[in-house]
Amino acid sequence: MSNGDLPAASSTASGPRIALAAGEASGDLLGADLIRSLRERYPQAEFAGIGGDAMREAGCDTWNDVSELSVMGLIEVLKHLPQLLQLRRQFRKRAREWQPDVFIGIDAPDFNLGIEHWLKQRGIRTVHYVSPSIWAWREKRVNKIGAAVDRVLCLFPMEAPLYARHGIDAVFVGHPMADAIPLESGRAAARARLGLPADVPVLAVLPGSRRGELERLCEPFIEAARRASKALPRLQIVVPAANDACHQFLRQHLVDSAMSGENLRLLRGQSCAAMTAADVVLLASGTATLETMLVKRPMVVGYRISPMTHAIVKSLGLLKVDRYALPNILAGEDLVPEFLQQECTPAHLTEAMLYWFRHPEAVAALQPKFLELHMQLRRHASARAAEAVAELLSQPPLPHPQ
């Protein structure tokens, strides 16, 4: 074989070899569930690659830990670029020597798409699990994705048709979070778990998990919560911190705002419990809005990016959506209020929050819409993803460029 190409199929007598690479903790969980589902189909399969504790417990031989890829932000990426490039070279070499039947890149497109493209050129089937948000911005990325992968596994229903328009094989498998969260979430049990009274209004505040998000959103979110507590004297406020760094940042800002008191609780983790316990959730745009939708709680969404970044993105026409919160995008209508950039002010956030608290009929009207979206995403995602990978493995080898 020329150029050191490998056979497209290299499974052992007992089962296929499946390589995976997860880029952060959420990908580690996705990978673990996928491995377990694939194991049901291939009891003797071998799994190896980049993962964390969850993937290791599921039976993956991790050549590198997921923490080596968990770098967020431009400055952080540039700082660690030499190590990331070295890791990519080492991973490609080891994967090529191991000769997997398929490589599955889990999210982390900046890292995984390069790996996928390199392996695909050498006759190894490639899958990308979790589509980049091409429906929101930079749709032209589909061409790069299509050149790198044999199949994309999509979490949201609007993604697969978009790939189909570009002639790229994509399968909607559903969202694992929709499988994990019950269709009915118990508010009373969540409040008992957090030690919250059963008969008072509760507001959950989640200003993000990244330093940049916290720096831009803490001030308007905390001030909005303060105003809401003045309007609702019995209001209990819970603020779940995603990690220790977030906890320290939030604690200092809450102290500075003079909001520390009996009606305020800063939590370590427990974001899902906080959302479930709440009557209303104030949160940053992102995956947390999906989780809040799945526990069926009304929300107010705010977000700010740097003014320069926003101006560049808007001027170049890179953004393809008018809505940013996932519930609104999935529904194709404005189910929940969202405030971005200069609109993300304490006044706007407070008014929107108080509306939910004071209009239970509006909250009741929201529930069936959230339930319908939940059902659309609840597809046994890991099993369907495993089925899509198995189908790919069953196909005859395709010619690949030399």
Tens of pLDDT, residue by residue over 251-305, are: 887 776 656 566 888 988 899 999 999 999 999 988 899 999 999 999 999 986 6
Asked whether residue 23 falls in the same domain as residue 61, the answer is yes
Q: Do the bridges between strand 17-22 and strand 264-268 make them parallel or antiparallel, or are there none, so unpaired? A: unpaired
Q: What's the confidence (pLDDT) of residue 198?
A: 93
Domain count, the chain: 2
In a domain, 296, yes or no: yes
Asked whether residue 130 falls in the same domain as residue 234, the answer is no
- For 126-173, what is each residue's pLDDT tens digit? 999 999 887 655 567 888 999 999 999 999 999 999 999 999 999 999
The residue among 317, 338, 340 whose CA lies nearest residue 137 is 317
215 pLDDT more than 90: no
56 pLDDT more than 50: yes
Asked whether residue 170 falls in the same domain as residue 122, the answer is yes
Asked whether residue 166 falls in the same domain as residue 41, the answer is yes
In a domain, 206, yes or no: yes
Q: What's the confidence (pLDDT) of residue 381?
A: 97
Q: What's the confidence (pLDDT) of residue 342?
A: 80
Range of the domain at 313: 187-377
Which of 59-68, 212-221, 324-333, 381-390 is most confident? 381-390
Q: Is-contact 48 17, C-beta < 8 A?
A: yes
Q: What CATH number does residue 198 fall under?
A: 3.40.50.2000
Asked whether residue 24 falls in the same domain as residue 147, the answer is yes
In a domain, 226, yes or no: yes
The residue among 334, 294, 284, 299 whose CA lies nearest residue 203 is 299
Query: What is the average pLDDT across 177-204?
Result: 95
Asked whether residue 8 falls in the same domain as residue 79, the answer is yes
Q: What's the confidence (pLDDT) of residue 214?
A: 79
In a domain, 180, yes or no: no
Asked whether residue 204 falls in the same domain as residue 162, the answer is no
In a domain, 179, yes or no: no
Asked whether residue 133 falls in the same domain as residue 238, the answer is no
Percentage above 90 pLDDT, the chain:
63
In a domain, 135, yes or no: yes
Q: How confident is the model at residue 216 (pLDDT cuts 50, 70, 90)?
A: confident
Q: How confident is the model at residue 79 (pLDDT cuts 50, 70, 90)?
A: low
CB atoms within 10 A of CB 140: 9
Q: What's the confidence (pLDDT) of residue 347?
A: 96
8 pLDDT more than 60: no
Query: What is the average pLDDT across 226-230?
Result: 92
